[in-house]
Structure 1
């Protein structure tokens, strides 16, 4: 099957699904598990939550050129998530974690398999959406 056709037909729906799962996951952690989000978690939410609406509407209307609006948000979100993850898992940014706000940014609420944390999950979601949007951009250009 032609990858360009597959990406054009399914890219928006897959991107929307990833954003929806990430949003519901973050709401589960904060509202059900009662994990208080830190300042960097809020920035990641600010960039992820609107993607559910933007990508949902784009998928319903089959507007394939949404990558122009989605990519800047996902790249910024991936950068913030990577910084947050490095703050948690390395000593490079540890001193900045305590000045993050009332909730320190280096708190590991979850630590699955020794490396999967909440910022890591957000990073994976932002990167996957970015990859899908870049593929849609390349398919659209061809």
Structure 2
């Protein structure tokens, strides 16, 4: 009976990995849509967010399809750092005077808002949401008792 419990527990963890992978794929395709199809030029902070999101597609994909939950130790730092960059970028867009702390010096200013749905949803907000969902998923994998 305990063997079935372990299999069931690992199955739930694989679904959590699959969810996190799906979020990373949607976020990556969304960023590519905005830049390649809509023609929005990414600012410096957008590039840093991409640097932390794009590898997650590969890492989470491999972990998901091999049912390897040990990849959580690689995913969590990337998602936390990427989320912090997204949060900083969102503050730079939405908090008056905050953008003066580190202005972008070349290309598109980081305070530019290509989209502003419902008055608060911007591209960094979407990235922050994705990083947050991935981070929470990885925390669930850490908090549940390991079945190895």
Alignment-derived partner of residue 56 in structure 1: 61
Structure with the larger RCO, 1 or 2 (CA within 8 Å, 6+ apart): 1
Partners of 2:85 and 2:105 lie apart in 1 by: 13
Distance 1:51 1:61, change over 3 A: same
Distance 1:97 1:113, change over 3 A: farther
1:41 aligned to 2:41? Answer: no
Aligned with 1:36: secondary structure?
A: coil
Q: Structure 1 residue 100: deviation in Å?
A: 4.3
Partners of 2:105 and 2:140 lie apart in 1 by: 35
Instruction: Judge conservation of contact 2:76–2:135 (CA < 8 Å) in 1.
Output: yes
1:131 aligned to 2:136? Answer: yes
Alignment-derived partner of residue 29 in structure 1: 34
Alpha-carbon deviations, 1:15-55, whole Å to 9, x = none?
A: 00000000000000000000000000000000000100000
Partners of 1:100 and 1:71 lie apart in 2 by: 30
Alignment-derived partner of residue 118 in structure 2: 113
Distance 1:83 1:9, change over 3 A: same
Distance 1:92 1:140, change over 3 A: farther
Q: Structure 1 residue 96: deviation in Å?
A: 3.8
- RMSD, aligned α-carbons: 1.8
The gaps in structure 2 that reach 5 residues or longer are none
The gaps in structure 1 that reach 5 residues or longer are none
Partners of 2:44 and 2:35 lie apart in 1 by: 13
Instruction: Judge conservation of contact 2:14–2:64 (CA < 8 Å) in 1.
Output: no
Partners of 1:31 and 1:41 lie apart in 2 by: 14
TM-score (norm 2): 0.88
1:12 aligned to 2:34? Answer: no
